[in-house]
């Protein structure tokens, strides 16, 4: 290590802070013994560090005991002192209380309401559908119940046990009147597996619903002799 490299590296500080790599450490030691400028540099750095340590300890004896790094909070009489004077503080705190009351009584409930309406795409509930019944009794009182808010998305979880083996199945969610309110496809790979089917946007009215699966469409999306493969019935109840 030469003099310029020692200066460029800030070698004196690094050495005293224990930051010089092993190889440079030995090289720097050899150098500062041999170079009077670097000898003065490291002596000055070590002296400064020790002087600073001693000076700071003498200067702030109370902080040594208190172990305080963060400056203390300014006294009340400081720049912010006027904020705490009654003439200012009383009306301000009264206004604050009114504002908080308004927030809690009006704004927050309104936001909650709008949030439940606007979060139609967020799935918050999941319901297990009992039985995997083909041609099951739609009037069965033991049908699974789905309790959601109007328009609230939910997930139906069930065992997918369709008849036949197809690469894909179609499904329809039918209301009590037999109208299809939702529809989609499910891969044949899911056969004999537990499937979670999201019902985005939920349903518009309570009542009995049926999830019906059909065998096959052809590769062009054309329905060919659609035959029912599985049917699951459940009841939707709206939470008030």
Partner 1 sequence: MELFAFTREYVERLREGDPSTEQHFVTYFDQLLRIKLRARMLASETVEDLRQETYIRVLVTLRKDGVRQPERFGAFVNGICNNVIQEFYRATSRTSPWDDTYLELPDHALDTEGLLISRQMKERVRQIIEELPKKDRDLLRAYFLEEKEKDEVCALFGVDRDYFRVLLHRAKDKFRVLYEKDREGLSGRLSAGEET
Q: Which residues bind partner 1 (CB under 8 A)?
A: 10, 12-19, 22, 25-26, 29-30, 32-37, 39-40, 42-60, 63-64, 67, 69, 71
Residue 6 Cβ vs partner 1, minimum distance, rounded to whole Å: 12
Are 64 and 57 in contact, with CB atoms under 8 Å apart? Answer: yes
Length of the chain as a residue count: 240
- How many CA atoms does the CB half-sphere of 226 hold within 13 Å? 13
- What is the enclosing helix (H) or strand (E) of 216? strand 207-217
Asked if 208 and 143 count as a contact pair (C-beta separation under 8 A), the reply is: yes
Tell me how far, at minimum, the Cβ of 77 lies from partner 1, in Å: 21
Alpha-carbon dihedral angle through residues 105, 111, 112, 113, given to the nearest 10 degrees: 100
The minimum distance between CB 82 and partner 1, in angstroms, equals 24
Bridge partner list, 235 = 145, 208
- What is the C-alpha separation between 228 and 150, in angstroms, rounded? 29
Beta strand extents in 83-167 (DSSP E only): 125-128, 144-148, 154-160
Least separation in angstroms between residue 182's CB and partner 1 is: 53
CB of 68: closest distance to partner 1 in angstroms? 9
Which CB, 43 or 185, lies closer to partner 1? 43
Q: How far is the CB of 80 from partner 1 (least distance, A)?
A: 18
Decide whether 10 or 147 has the Cβ nearer to partner 1: 10
Cβ proximity to partner 1: between 48 and 93 the closer is 48
State which residue, 2 or 204, has the beta carbon closest to partner 1. 2
Burial degree of 194 (CB within 10 A; 0-12, 13-18, 19+): exposed
Question: In terms of CB distance, is 1 or 236 closer to partner 1?
Answer: 1
Query: Checking phi first, is residue 98 left (phi over 0); if not, alpha (psi -120 to 50) or beta?
Result: alpha
CB of 4 to partner 1, least distance (A): 15
Q: Which is nearer to partner 1, 42 or 146 (CB)?
A: 42
Closer CB to partner 1, 28 or 154, in the complex: 28
């Amino acid at each position: 290590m030469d003099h310029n490299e020692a200066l460029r590296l800030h070698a004196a500080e690094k050495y005293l802070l224990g930051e010089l790599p092993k190889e440079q450490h030995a090289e720097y030691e050899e150098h500062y013994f041999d170079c009077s400028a670097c000898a003065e540099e490291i002596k000055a750095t070590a002296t400064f560090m020790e002087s600073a340590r001693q000076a700071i300890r003498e200067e702030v004896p109370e902080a040594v005991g208190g172990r305080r790094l963060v400056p203390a909070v300014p006294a009340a009489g400081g720049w912010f002192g006027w904020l705490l004077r009654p003439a200012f503080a009383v009306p301000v705190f009264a206004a604050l209380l009114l504002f908080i009351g308004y927030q809690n009584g009006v704004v927050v409930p309104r936001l909650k309401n709008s949030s439940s309406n606007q979060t139609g795409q967020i799935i918050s509930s999941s319901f297990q559908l009992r039985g995997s019944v083909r041609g099951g009794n739609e009037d069965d009182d033991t049908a699974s119940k789905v309790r959601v808010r109007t328009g609230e998305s939910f997930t139906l979880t069930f065992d997918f046990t369709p008849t036949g083996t197809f690469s894909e199945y179609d499904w329809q969610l039918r209301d009590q009147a037999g109208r299809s309110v939702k529809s989609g496809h499910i891969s044949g790979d899911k056969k004999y597996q537990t499937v979670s089917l999201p019902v985005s946007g939920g349903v518009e009215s309570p009542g009995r619903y049926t999830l019906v699966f059909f065998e096959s469409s052809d590769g062009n999306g054309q329905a060919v002799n659609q035959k029912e493969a599985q049917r699951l019935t459940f009841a939707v109840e709206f939470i008030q």
